[in-house]
Structure 1
């Protein structure tokens, strides 16, 4: 027979239940506190990752993007890349890229660094990419940490620096060469002019001697050719001197609209060869005057507009317009001509590089323009597509922006 349940037994049982529920409650509170701490740490970690100046991507073994930092979305304009394959997002491909650094890092189990090019907003950007394998507790790779740094601007600055050094060397060479060439050219040109002046008297002396007179038939043409070629060499030497070190030029305010009108006036005889040519000018009233040397800037615009005329058809179109944006005032010349090949784009500002016939160009025009604009603390930017046309943008420091700073 069972013993009857006493009051003490009931109280003990309830006490045990209360103790259990109390312990559960404490555990729940503890878990909630732990979760809050984890959430706080996760937010801190995300804030750190978002503050990194590099793009950060975590990729799985099968190339699926697991997470990214904020900079990724800003650069690649992708709102939710998570769950997509990395080769879809970066290169719009259906399979892993041939030069994929993730594949290399997976094979070697070591950090892989590569320079890769991705297209963003129709422009190629160079990225320095580092892929690090992420190891689990068994020291096996289960994910990859990808860090990407856009070094496009840095590479452009490096190229500009190297080009500036090259131009400085060319300048020193040009000063010496110009001096050495000018002296004999002056003698050749001077004596040729002297022969030309004596030619009528020489002809009159030989009129009574037909046999010797025939020898004089081509003399005038020969002398004219010598003089013309001397003048051409003088022009080349003059262009070379733009590369040599010079005293600082005093800049004055230059009205870009008036500058272009003056240049078009100088070209009026050449423009007669383009009766169907359309030239559009667009200058807003808020375009400020830029600090510069008007004569040199006319030389730049003459070069660029003449190149546009060489590229277009007789019924082509040239647009010349100016815009003001932040620290720059940009003067643009746009044509619908033949465009420029990528190979030419890489060398177009090199001294003596030309795609024109020998008797049509010397290859110092655009390099001279580059040098002049550099002295004006500006930039020349060229965009071109073959069979569509080119845009030359000459950027000058905005004097109004400097005042506001």
Structure 2
């Protein structure tokens, strides 16, 4: 038979219980403090991630998103991306791409980088993707940190830089070729005109059929020499780096002067196809009036060719969000195939039929606008029409 516990024993047990409860309370307090510290650190880390302008997402082995930063929400406007797959959001696809960098990072436990094109708000944008494995205590990948950097502007600047380099090189070559062609061309033209003057002085008994053929051949030579002269003149205009007479220029006035210049050369019904949307408060630019007029003329002639006297042409002037002066020439013509857009401002590139142009007009426009520290680009949809935009810095007041 067990002895009954004494009062001292009971008091000892109660003290032991009190000690245990006190220890539990201390542990709970420690856990609460640890949780608060973890929450603070988590908020701190999330704040750091949100301050990064690149798109970030943490992916599970099945490519499902577990967390994202603020830049992700800003670009993709997804209220709750967690649980969705990366390819579902990035590419609107139901399966990963064949060379998915996240899968490669999982499989190899290495960092993968590549540049891809994804549609965002209806436009294709270039992204540099870095997939880095997040490892567990055994060093095995358990998640993937996906970093997406929008490099669209970098790609555009690189393309513009390379285009400017090409144009400068072509300009030097064009000047040399033009001078080399001009000398023998002048001789051919001179001799052809001499032959034309001598035709009436040939003996009367000259074979009439032979005489007609001879006259026709000389006329063809003169016509083609004239065409070659236009090409040479275009080359010289394209490559010319001479001094420009810069002054205060109103684009609105320049548009009006250009239309007046064209009125005598256009059919009445063609003139009626031109519409105007000019900003009455448009600031002036500093530029060479004759060169800028040539840009407007070239763009208008292209628009006339594109519409074939059936569509409408709209001339607009306005100030863009960057506080720069803009001129646009919009037509409702045939449009330009997408695969031609990158070559449009290169010399000798043309989509017109043989004999309708040599591809110097737009490249000349490009050079003139570049000399004015501006930009020129085109937006076009085949079968819908094209809009050429010229953007120039506004005149700086002293």
Do both proteins adopt the same fold according to a TM-score greater than 0.5, normalized to the shorter chain? yes
Q: Secondary structure at the match of 1:271?
A: coil
Is 1:238 matched up with 2:233? yes
Q: Secondary structure at the match of 1:332?
A: strand
Is 1:88 matched up with 2:88? yes
Question: Which of 306, 309, 313 lines up with 1:314 in the alignment?
Answer: 309
CA distance in 2, matches of 1:383, 1:303: 17
Deviations 1:308-355 (CA, angstroms, capped at 9, x unpaired): 111125331111111202242121111111111122112111211112
Q: Who is 1:304 aligned against? A: 299
CA distance in 2, matches of 1:114, 1:307: 40
Q: Secondary structure at the match of 2:87?
A: helix
CA distance in 2, matches of 1:139, 1:189: 81
Is 1:351 matched up with 2:344? no
Q: Secondary structure at the match of 1:267?
A: helix
Q: Who is 1:229 aligned against? A: 224
Q: Who is 1:30 aligned against? A: 30
Is 1:385 matched up with 2:381? yes
Shift of 1:89: 0.6
Q: Secondary structure at the match of 1:119?
A: strand
Is 1:278 matched up with 2:256? no
5 Å matches for 1:6-405?
6=7, 11-193=11-193, 198=197, 203=200, 209-211=204-206, 216-217=211-212, 222-244=217-239, 246-269=241-264, 271-272=266-267, 274-275=269-270, 278-325=273-320, 326-399=322-395
Shift of 1:66: 0.8
Shift of 1:191: 4.6
CA distance in 1, matches of 2:394, 2:72: 32
CA distance in 1, matches of 2:219, 2:257: 31
Aligned residues: 396
CA distance in 1, matches of 2:379, 2:225: 36
Deviations 1:201-223 (CA, angstroms, capped at 9, x unpaired): x63x558x254677555666555
Q: Secondary structure at the match of 1:349?
A: coil
Kindly tell me: are residues 33 and 89 of structure 1, through their superposed partners in 2, closer, same or farther at Cα, counting changes over 3 Å? same
Deviations 1:32-84 (CA, angstroms, capped at 9, x unpaired): 22122112211221122223342211111122111111111222232331121
Shift of 1:360: 0.9
After superposing the two structures, state which structure 1 stretch, 230-239 or 152-161, moved more: 230-239
Shift of 1:384: 1.0
Shift of 1:29: 2.4
Deviations 1:167-186 (CA, angstroms, capped at 9, x unpaired): 12112112212222222333
Kept in 1: contact 2:263–2:271 (CA 8 A): no
RMSD after superposition: 2.7
- Unaligned runs of 5+ residues in structure 1 are none
CA distance in 1, matches of 2:249, 2:271: 31
CA distance in 2, matches of 1:290, 1:190: 44
CA distance in 1, matches of 2:122, 2:96: 22
CA distance in 1, matches of 2:253, 2:16: 98
Kindly tell me: are residues 43 and 159 of structure 1, through their superposed partners in 2, closer, same or farther at Cα, counting changes over 3 Å? same
- Unaligned runs of 5+ residues in structure 2 are none
Deviations 1:133-167 (CA, angstroms, capped at 9, x unpaired): 22222333322111111111111211222222211
